[in-house]
Chains A and B, each alone.
Chain A
Amino acid sequence: MQRSFLAQNPSVMWFLAALGLFTVVVTLLAEGTGTALISTSFVKTLGKVLCLCLIAIAMDVVWGYCGILSLGHFAFFGIGGYSVGMWLMYARTEAIVETSMASSVIPPTSAEVQDAIAAQIFGVVGASEFPMIWMFSHSLVLQLLMVVLVPGLLALVFGWLAFRSRVTGVYLSILTQAMTLALALYLLQNDSGLRGNNGLSGLQNIPGFDDVPQSTISMVFFWASAAALGAGYVLFARVLSGKMGSVIRAVRDDEVRVRFLGYHVESYKLFVFTLTAIVAGIAGALYYPQAGIINPTEVAPIASIYLAVWVAIGGRGRLYGSVIGAAFVSLLASWFTGGGAPNINLGVYEILWTEWWLVLLGASFVAVTLFFPGGIGSLFDRLKGDAK
């Protein structure tokens, strides 16, 4: 069975091989584990790109294969990040508070420790008590469970409501965008219990590993991200192969006909929507410890639209296409906005890429949609065609 799956999907083998090669190369060149040709911050960037590739695959499955243009998957990504960030922030603050209290004459009670942690974390929003949603933040296991459960349940409920009443097409896109906006606005409030505008910070410091240098931690997260990406790729390739994959694709192409053939379209859509939301949450949980900070702007609707942009440029309906799109566009973006691209002096006007990059992105995006709907991924199809 396993053999036939891989035989049917040669791209999976190719992808895993490429990912493995990439991981080995980066490991050999990295500061923490190899020849230090790649700086720690760039390792982090690469690790983050791998997480973005993972959510891009999820987006590709839900949009490219199932035809649901969700503008809300970055919300699930953010929820994953917040869930793991809560534990990171709690545990780290706890360590700091316990160190500072250790010197006092009398050992602190647990209530005193709690109060000190709460004051430390929520001082910026003028609160000093733990809100309800932090009740599990002391436990890594429970928070990791929340990484999976909260996006999953939210997607399940939202999807059930939306698919049940046959909201489709652009309506569904706008509804998911509304959901994202609602979440972002909720997180922006100071009394939401998640530090409002300030977000959660200091996430790059892993509690209990204070002695381990960032160069090593970054490598561990890089490997974890690579492993998650590989696993996610195999998982989705698996889901999309066989009969179930055919039904999912059929839903994309003609939902009404699939329903008339006796399939329960809503269940398939709900399954895909929820599964991809969970994967997005996991990607977020891996991404934000590498980014170090999460705040509500990360969840804003625009982020989810960019996600759609990556997938469209990379090529919808091909898992590797979305990976290429996410990696290509996000790396290009950091190259342009980071001042890496040389500015072009036209004599009368100098094009500063930090200012003009978005114009270029917007225009090239229109061009891709118009003239190159297959995206970068379709280049591989042409290669295959030539080979034959």
Chain B
Amino acid sequence: MSDDGRIVVSGLTKQYRKVRAVDDLSFTVQSGRVTGFLGPNGAGKTTTLRMILNLVTPTAGKATIGGVHYSQLAQPLRHVGAILEASSAHKGRTGRNHLRIICAAAGFPLKRADEALELVGLTPAAKRKFRGYSLGMRQRLGIAAALLGDPKVLILDEPANGLDPEGIRWMRDLLKALAQQGRTILVSSHLLSEMELLADDVIIIANGKLVKQGTMKAVINGLSTTERVRVRTPQAQELVKALGSEVSVETDDDVLLVTGASAPEVGAAALRAGVELHELVAEKPDLEHVFLELTAGKAGIR
């Protein structure tokens, strides 16, 4: 995949009457990877995505896809597919007609609509009116619309919202498959565990500003939280004694949370003291920890 799918955001700012929704935001989304776009509610994720797609006019800064502004793409749907919130279809129109209308405007053959419906498994409901679609079916129709032009870049705003577990899993598999075909995928979400499974890179924003950008691994490991070991034992007191005074221990029922010693060290100490262990786990920091730490106090209503 060439540079075509790179999304570059530089100095992007959106000032609403009283709120600076996005504040001098800059980041780059690499092509051929899944990038998770994270932030607390109201962080400016949706506004940023809409500015990239020329739906919201920035107060300052710019965003380009493959080096050009969205409005300058000759055939935008061939380059970029998007699923956004507050995007819908006419309630009285069938899903198939909704897609055919987009095909006509984009200059695609109308039969692309049927192919896209097939791709997302909506063919049985193709001629049903949008009014009767479940949330999951609506989301699938949105994806079908995004895939009409077989785009290199996919931008998705909270695609898992309102999906049931099966739907979420379907979405994950689909996005992974699309990424493996070499497409650029920028997906915003607040389902952090889901993101950890899906994304190669992460961009975290809060209050409209960039907090962290990097590969998933680097972001998670880059956090300075000291490693903790979780131990469950019926002989808590003996174990604490055996560990010595250099480590600090928090107790929670029969669970000990040990900082200052690695899991092998704790295991060795327990063996020497003849203490029985039921559980010994090194707690790795996960995306949720990192996210909450990085965005602490920045969430909420502005």
Tell me if chain B binds chain A. no
